[in-house]
Structure 1
Amino acid sequence: MSKAPARPIAFFDVSIGNTPAGRIKMELFNDVVPKTAENFRQLCTGEHRVNHMPIGYKNCIFHRVIPNFMCQGGDFINGDGTGSTSIYGPQFDDENFEVKHDAAGLLSMANSGPGTNGCQFFITTAPAPFLDGKHTVFGKVLGQDSMLVVRKIENVATGPNNRPKLPVTITGQFSACFVCKERECVNAIGMLTKVILFELGRMW
C-alpha cells in the first residue's frame, strides 16, 4: 500500500509592534479541502502573481483579534477586512465543512456569506462550533511554540472593531517545499566546496 503524501506545511514569522513574536507553523488539510489549502499555500509562498507581481501575506496584518475566539488576518489589499482576492479570482465557493471548529489552533476561512472565500483567514483560540457549516476549516497550528505566538497575538490590546492597537504583522512567509529547496542548495554548495578542497589538496 502506498503511503499518503505528507500534508503541506506553511510558516508565518510575526511581529507585534517592532518586536518579533515568533513563528507560526501550520499544517494544511489538502487531503480534505485541496482547493482551499492550495489558495492559502500559494499566498504564503508568494508564488501567485498578478501582472507579473507576487501577491501574498508578507507584510499583511492581523486586523481583528477577539480573545477566547479568534485572530483574523489575510487582507493584504485594504488591511481592514474589506479586501478579497484569491488565486482563483476575487472569490471562490465553500469547498466543504467536513472539519469542525472544535479546538483552538484551527485555520479557517473568513467570509461575508456563502461562496465569498478569498484571502482572509482566522485562527481559532477556542472551540467555536457556531461557525460549523459556515466557514471552511483548512488547516491547524502545529506545536506549542507556534500556539504560543497565537496566544501572544490574542492578548494584544485592541481598540474599535477589535483592531490591535499595536500592528501585528506577518513579516515572513514560506512553505516547507521552499525550505527543502533551500536545504538542497546548501547541501550542494557544501559538496562542491569539499570537491574543490580535495582537488586543491591533490594539486599541492
Structure 2
Amino acid sequence: RAARKGGSAAAARAGRARARRRSTAVMSVTLHTNLGDLKLELHCEDTPRAALNFLALAASGTYDGTAFHRNMRGFMVQGGDPTGTGKGGASIWGGAFADEIVPQLRHHKRGVVSMANSGKDTNKSQFFITYAKAKHLDGQYTVFGHLIDGFDTLDAMEKAPVEGKKCKPVTPIVVRSVTIHANPFAAAAT
C-alpha cells in the first residue's frame, strides 16, 4: 500500500510538472479570414515539429492569401495550400515530416486542428479544422491545436456553399493574415 501511495504521489507530481511545462509552451495564433477570426491554441509541448512548422509558415506569410480549398459540412474544412488545389504545400523541414501521433490528442470535438496529409509521414503545410467529432481520424493525423475563439466564424465557414466532388467553396474562404500571440519557440531561442 505504501508503495502504491508513493507511486500515486510521484505520478501526481510528474503530472503537475508536465502541466507547468505545457503552460510555459502555450502558443496561440489568430487566422484572420474574410468570414471572421479563428483563434487557435497550438500543442507545442506534445507536437513540437507540427507546431513549429505551422508557426514558422504563419510568421513567414505563407498562409496569407491562401484559400480553404475543401469544405465538407459536418466533417472539416481544409486549407494551408498556397496553390489552392489541395496538391501543394511545403514544410520548413525541407520536405514532408513525420506524424506526431499523441494518443491523448484526439479528434473528439468541433474545432480540433490537425495536419492534413496524403498518408503516413507526409505532413507539409496543409491543415484542417474539424466541424464535429471524427474519431476515425485518430492515429492517422497529427492533432496539433484546437480552436479557442471564433466558433461563430467556424459556423459561417461550415454553412458556406460548395461545388463539385472536392467540396470547393463557391465563394473563396481566404486567410487574409495571421497574428501570432505567443511564440514559445522564439523565447527558447534567446
Length-normalised TM-score, structure 2: 0.81
Residue 115 of structure 1, aligned match among 116, 121, 128: 121
Which residue in the other structure is 1:104 paired with?
110
Q: Is the 8 A contact 2:97 2:122 kept in 1?
A: yes
Please report how far the alpha carbon of residue 45 of structure 1 lies from its aligned counterpart in structure 2 after TM superposition.
1.6
CA distance, structure 1, for counterparts of residue 139 and residue 77 of structure 2: 19
CA distance, structure 2, for counterparts of residue 45 and residue 121 of structure 1: 16
The amino acid that maps onto 1:156 is: A
Which residue in the other structure is 1:32 paired with?
46
Length-normalised TM-score, structure 1: 0.76
Residue 153 of structure 1, aligned match among 157, 181, 184: 157
Q: Is the 8 A contact 1:101 1:128 kept in 2?
A: yes
1:90 aligns with 2:95: yes
CA distance, structure 1, for counterparts of residue 167 and residue 139 of structure 2: 24
1:63 aligns with 2:82: no
1:7 aligns with 2:11: no
Aligned Cα RMSD in Å?
1.5
Deviations 1:35-73 (A, max 9, x none): 111111111221xxxxxxxx5100000000000100000
The amino acid that maps onto 2:101 is: N
Q: Flag the structure with larger Rg.
A: 1
Unaligned runs of 5+ in 1: 16-20, 47-54, 179-204
Which residue in the other structure is 1:22 paired with?
36
The amino acid that maps onto 1:59 is: G
**Residue 117 of structure 1 aligns to a residue in which SS?**
coil
The count of aligned residue pairs is 162
Residue 144 of structure 2, aligned match among 130, 138, 144: 138
Q: Is the 8 A contact 2:98 2:123 kept in 1?
A: yes
Q: Percent identity over the alignment?
A: 35
Please report how far the alpha carbon of residue 140 of structure 1 lies from its aligned counterpart in structure 2 after TM superposition.
0.3
**Residue 132 of structure 2 aligns to a residue in which SS?**
coil
Unaligned runs of 5+ in 2: 1-15, 184-190
Which residue in the other structure is 1:50 paired with?
none
The amino acid that maps onto 2:139 is: G
